Amino acid sequence: MKFVDEAFIDVSAGDGGSGCVSFRHEKYKEFGGPNGGDGGRGGHVYAVADPNLNTLVDFRFSRRHDARRGQNGMGSDMFGAAGDDIVLKMPVGTIISDVETGEALYELLKPGEMITIAKGGDGGFGNMRFKSAINRAPRQKTPGWPGDKKSLKLELKVLADVGLLGMPNAGKSTLISAISNARPRIADYPFTTLHPNLGVVRVAPEQSFVVADLPGLIEGASEGAGLGHQFLRHLQRTRLLWHVVDLAPFDGADPVAQAKAIVGELKKYDPALYDKPRWLVLNKLDMVPAEERQARVKDFVKRFRYKGPVFEISALTHEGCENLVKAAYQHIKSVQLAEQPAAYVDPRFADTAERSRS
């Protein structure tokens, strides 16, 4: 399936049905009075977060979505039926924005979350609503109210705990295939990865986290160069970044210069993304002679001026991958605990709660 992370749609909620002008006609009842019912409301348009979807490809080819109009009111005090609603299934992590203003209106973050993106119009009033002591035979009615009509932009940001970034051919796809169940396309040429790949990393039977492999970045990516620029936003929701560096580039390029270019693109694109926890993952140790590995790693860290966690791995032989995975899980777990809201304690029992903890 083709990965699509951006789409434009037009949604139109149903108009409300019109009210009815009607009078009761029964034998031996000369003045039956008004009995025209109200019109039904128009159908709403809902968006629901479906965890089984991971792309917006369905909306690329189906742009217009119209809900049904409400039924008109009828005689004998009968109200019109409401128009059928429309439910649009979207991947978790979808941002819904207004095309004209660019304002982000909604965000689907939890599986099963449902929001109303276009509200149907209310039905009009029938003449029974206008009956009074003065006006006993009203012939007034009102039309239904129009439903919302919107042009929307759908933007998908994949939800992952760890995001991989690095130059093309740094070994990111090989790494995610080595530690997870993902099977991305792997080849010995740059830009093999054309869309994000998600993999679930199992640390233990009930311990896991999600890794996102994105297309490789090049210098100028934040301005639109290369493929990775359009996927940089997928890193914004991750809790941890793995900066994968090829220690033995096949073209003889300087790994330090390449790594600095990636960091510079992050800072230009989004300072908040630049400030995220970022670990240095030095890959392709199998391509470096054993006697030169330590010296090359020390030289890289010194010239890169990096003071954070450094992991030396070979995604091809799985060397060092286990330590990397375990450390990442512990970090993610600590972040999740810190994100949990503190338990509420009633002020009346605060002293009792404090004594119980001690």
Structural domains of the chain, with CATH: 1-156 (2.70.210.12), 162-339 (3.40.50.300)
**pLDDT score recorded for residue 189:** 42
What whole-number percentage of the chain has pLDDT above 70? 84
**pLDDT score recorded for residue 114:** 92
Residue 126, pLDDT > 60, answer yes
Lowest pLDDT segment from 51-60, 110-119, 228-237, 282-291 = 228-237
Residue 218, pLDDT > 60, answer no
Residue 60, pLDDT > 60, answer yes
Report the candidate in 224, 222, 215 with the shortest Cα–Cα distance to residue 169: 215
Rounded mean pLDDT, 231-256: 81
What whole-number percentage of the chain has pLDDT above 90? 23
Residue 296, pLDDT > 50, answer yes
**pLDDT score recorded for residue 231:** 65
**pLDDT score recorded for residue 45:** 95
Rounded mean pLDDT, 51-77: 87
Residue 202, pLDDT > 90, answer no
Q: What is the 3-state secondary structure (H, E, C) of the chain?
A: CCCCCEEEEEEECCCCCCCCCCECCECCECCCCECCCCCCCCCCEEEEEECCCCCCHHHHCCCEEECCCCCCCECCCECCCCCCCEEEEEECCEEEEECCCCCEEEECCCCCCEEEEECCCCCCCCHHHHCCCCCCCCCCCCCCCCCCEEEEEEEECCCCCEEEECCCCCCHHHHHHHHCCCCCCCCCCCCCCCCCEEEEEEEECCEEEEEEECCCCCCCHHHCCCCHHHHHHHHHHCCEEEEEEECCCCCCCCHHHHHHHHHHHHHHHCHHHHCCCEEEEEECHHHCCHHHHHHHHHHHHHHHCCCCCEEECECCCCECHHHHHHHHHHHHHHHHHHHCCCCCCCHHHHHHHHHHHC
Mind listing the pLDDT tens digit for each residue in 318-345? 888 899 989 999 988 888 777 665 554 4
CA-to-CA separations, 54 to 73, 76, 115, 252, in angstroms, rounded = 42, 50, 19, 37
Of the two residues 217 and 9, the one the predictor is more confident about is 9
Rounded mean pLDDT, 313-321: 88
When pLDDT is cut at 50, 70 and 90, the band that residue 153 belongs to is very high
Residue 123, pLDDT > 70, answer yes
**pLDDT score recorded for residue 41:** 93
Phi-psi region of 295 (alpha: psi -120 to 50; beta: other; left: phi over 0): alpha
Residue 157, pLDDT > 80, answer no
Burial class (CB in 10 A: 0-12, 13-18, 19+), 102: exposed
**pLDDT score recorded for residue 172:** 83
